[in-house]
Copies of this chain bind each other. A is one copy, B any other.
Amino acid sequence: MDNSIGVGLIGTGYMGKCHALAWTGVKAVFGDRPRPRLVHLAEVDAGLAARRAEEFGFERSTVDWRVLVTDPDVEVVSITTPNAFHAEMAVAALEAGKHVWCEKPMAVTLADAERMTAAARASGKTAVLGYNYIQNPMIRQIGAILAEGTIGTVNHVRLEMDEDFMADPEAPFFWKNELAAGYGAIDDFGVHPLSLLQVLFGLPSRVFANLSKPYPDRPNREGGRRSVENWDVSSILFELGPEISGLMALSRTAWGRKGRIALQIFGSKGSIAYDQERLNELQLYVTSDKPSEQGFRTILSGPRHPPYDRFVPAAGHTLGFNDLKIIECHELLRAIAGEPARVIDFESGLQIEQAVHAMGQSHREQRWVEID
C-alpha cells in the first residue's frame, strides 16, 4: 500500500462524519485502487479531536488545521467546516500542495470563491466540491436519457428544493439567519439544484429572482427578538439559453418537506420527473409507448444504473445518502489520478456561485440578470 493516499479531515460535524465514512468505505465498495490512509484530523477542541480521530479511524489529531494542511503525510484535505472558513482553509491546503475536497456551498462571497478557484488553478492540484446529489445513479440515468434523446429536445425545466428546518416561526435566530451567511435559501441549498442543472444542461443564461422572508424576526437565544437578515424562500425564473425556460422554487420553511429536490423536465418526445425524498426512483414518460399504455414509469434504482451495482447486485434495494458520498469520494480519487471523473471542481463551483449572486442581484434590482 505504498501508493495509498494520505487523508486529512477538517471538521467532524455531520459532513465530517460523512466524509470519514466515505474515506473508510470507498475501497471495499469499489476495490479498484489503494485503501486511503486516514492520517490527520482537525477539530477545534482537543478532546473532541482525539475522540473523533479514534471513532473515525484517523492516526492523529490536532486543534490547529494549519498543522494538518502542512502535514507531509496528508495528500488530500477534506474541508467540512462552516462555509465562512472554506476559502481560507482551501487556499492554504492548495498552497501547501494538497488536493482539496471542500463541502458546499463554496464560500459566502464571490470574491472568496474566485480566490479559491485561482488557488486551485495555480496549484495544479485537484479541487472538488461536495455536490453529492449529482452522484446519484438516478441522476446519472437522467443524464443518459437526455443524452440519448429519449425525451427529444427539452423545452422546460422545473426545480424545487424544500426542507422544513426553519419552518417553525419560533425557531431561534442562528447564524444561518445572518446576512453574513449569504442570501438564505439560494446559497444554503439552492446550489444543490443548480449542481443538478449544471451536470444535466449547464447553468442558466439568465435569472429573475424574488426572495422572501416568511418570518421577519425570530426569538433571540439571549432573549427578545431579532430581525431575520436573509431570505428563507426564493422564487426564481431562469432560462437555459433561448430554448429552455424554467422555474426554481426554494424554501427552508416548507413544513413536511425533509429533503425534497424535485425535478421536472419536459421534452418534445417525453418527460422526466424526480423527487429526492425518493432518491432511488425516477419517473419517465415516453411517447414511443403504445398510446393506450402510456404513463409515467416508476424506475427503481438498480445494477443497470452504475455504480449502484458496486453496492448491491439487486435492484430496488435502496442506496442511501451516505452511499452517494462514497461514490463522490471515488470520483474524487479518479480525478486525482487524472482519470475522467464526474465532479464539480472549483471552476464549475465558481459558476454556481456566480449564478447565486446573479439571483441576489436580480432580486435587488428587480430585473433579469444575464450570466456569462
Contact = CB atoms under 8 A, between A and B. Distances in A.
A35 B57 contact: yes
Contacts of A235: 237, 245-247
Contacts of A318: 259, 277, 279-280, 318-321
Interface in A124-162: 141, 144-145, 150-152, 155-156, 158, 160
Interface residues of A, number: 99
A299 B296 CA distance: 7
Contacts of A21: 25, 28-29
A322 B321 contact: no
Interface string A272-300: 00000111101011110101111111111
A304 interface: yes
A271 B254 contact: yes
Contact of A266 (B20, B151, B251): B251
Contact of A208 (B150, B208, B249, B270): B208
Contact of A151 (B54, B255, B271, B279): B255
Contact of A285 (B145, B155, B255, B312): B255
B295 A259 contact: no
Contact of A293 (B254, B267, B284): B284
A323 B319 CA distance: 9
Contacts of A208: 208, 210, 237
A259 to B, nearest CB: 4
A227 interface: no
B305 A292 contact: yes
A279 B282 CA distance: 16
29 contacts: A14-B313, A14-B314, A27-B55, A31-B51, A150-B293, A155-B212, A158-B160, A167-B266, A208-B237, A210-B239, A235-B246, A235-B247, A251-B266, A254-B266, A255-B269, A255-B285, A255-B287, A256-B270, A256-B294, A258-B316, A258-B317, A259-B316, A259-B317, A284-B293, A292-B304, A296-B297, A317-B320, A318-B318, A318-B319
